Amino acid sequence: MPVLGIKDVALAAGVSQATASRALSGRGSVSPKTRARVQAAAADLGFQISYHASSLATGRSRNIGVVLPYVNRWYFSTVLEGLTRPLIDAGYDLTLYDFQGDLHRRTVLDDFLLRKRLDGVITVGLRLNEADTTRFLSLDIPVVSIGGSLPGIASLTIDEHAIGRLAADHLIGLGHTRVAHIGGEHESNLYFHVSWDRREGYRAAMEAAGLEQRSAWSVISDYTVNSAYEVAKSLLADPHNRPTAICCASDEMAIGAILAARDLGLHIPEQLSVIGVDKHPLGVVFGLTTIDQFVEEQGTRAAHTLLDELAETHEGRRGTLPSLTELPITIVTRSSTASPTKNKNPTFH
């Protein structure tokens, strides 16, 4: 049986050898339709590209590093899911670096990334200091950041302040004047200030509306259902000093707040409106109004940005892509929020 080569695949697909090679290797620009036709032809012929031989010939490892602080939290695992498929489809392996909070941060940044041969790196939610940024740039490979801007690095940013303000404005627009906030602890400078910015967005909305901001109504959780359940139960315990709405910095915290309210005998949204952030799948079950920040699409956009940068590098055109891209957000209105005119809370004193 004759040994098949890229020439045979190109002939079967009706494209040039160069196009067939780009379609199968993931290097360079190829339309999705052409890529699918070439991949189908390769499958019919039983042809598989040798990535080992390709790496030896090109000096590329076909490996992408993904660096994130946690892999066992919904946001990060969903971003990871979004970026995995495009990279695998383009023929890349992934090496995952999980800081586990801050436990392995220095080991990853000072050792693993420098000694592991990578074609590119995607960071998720990590704010790098000048020394760490310089270390990344010294790798001389494309790097993409998700969650905030890093100097000299292609960055996909989220306007966290706008998220917090949009959530609070929704509740205020419904007529709520007694609006509480459940958010995360203020992050160190090792991470983008997601919790701080979302809380500041809430505060800005309250101030713009001329509403009272009670320190007791701005509480801290750790982005989990269990933690938010406990703080919400304390927040709602006094029937004479209760907010009519809660703005939560994540859907998981919002779900914890809803469960706490139900255990206290409160009806959602007749006696309490709750809004979250993320568009978590469980939000559908709870009828949760939320701010959709298109989490999976964040990963997909980052993967395609990195692939575009790799293509530019391969073609000698490095640096022509936008260095900063703001990602979209939108509100998804469901049944967990309503006008306070429906509230049945006792008279406040």
pLDDT tens digits for range 163-202: 999 999 999 999 999 999 999 988 777 678 899 999 999 9
Q: Any idea where the domains of the chain sit in the sequence?
A: 6-49, 61-157+295-326, 160-293+332-342
Q: Could you tell me the fold of the domain covering 160-293+332-342?
A: Rossmann fold (3.40.50)
Distance CA 212, CA 239 (A): 18
Mean pLDDT over 136-153 rounds to 87
Which alpha helices (DSSP H) does 194-289 contain, by range? Answer: 194-208, 225-235, 251-263, 282-285
Q: What is the pTM of this model?
A: 0.80
pLDDT category of residue 157 using cuts at 50, 70 and 90? very high
pLDDT of res. 318: 60
- Pick the range with the lowest mean pLDDT from 68-72, 181-185, 249-253, 319-323: 319-323
Residue 109 has φ and ψ, to the nearest 5°, of -70, -35
Q: 186: helix, coil or strand?
A: coil
pLDDT tens digits for range 250-307: 999 999 999 999 999 999 999 999 999 999 999 999 999 999 999 999 999 999 999 9
- 61-157+295-326 and 160-293+332-342 have identical folds: yes
Distance CA 228, CA 223 (A): 7
Peptide linkage before 281 cis (omega within 30 of 0):
no
pLDDT of res. 203: 98
Mean pLDDT over 311-321 rounds to 64
Mean pLDDT over 11-36 rounds to 79
Strands lying side by side in the sheet with 120-124:
93-98, 63-68, 120-124, 143-147, 154-157, 324-326
Q: Is the dihedral of CA 36, 41, 45, 49 positive or negative?
A: negative
- Pick the range with the lowest mean pLDDT from 66-75, 220-229, 275-284: 66-75
Span 61-157+295-326 CATH architecture: 3-Layer(aba) Sandwich (3.40)
pLDDT category of residue 113 using cuts at 50, 70 and 90? low
Is the per-residue pLDDT at 78 higher than 80? yes
Is the per-residue pLDDT at 249 higher than 80? yes
- Pick the range with the lowest mean pLDDT from 61-70, 79-88, 232-241, 298-307: 61-70
Closest by alpha carbon to 107, among 99, 116, 96, 95?
99
pLDDT category of residue 343 using cuts at 50, 70 and 90? very low
Write out the H or E segment, with its range, that includes residue 43: helix 32-45
Which residues lie closer than 8 Å to 253 by C-beta, 6 or more apart?
182, 183, 221, 223, 224, 225, 227, 228, 276
Higher confidence at residue 69 or residue 155?
155
pLDDT of res. 110: 67
Count of Cβ atoms closer than 10 Å to residue 140 Cβ = 9
- Angle ∠(300,306,307) on CA atoms, nearest 5: 90
Distance CA 115, CA 110 (A): 9
Is the per-residue pLDDT at 51 higher than 70? no
29: tokens are 């620009």
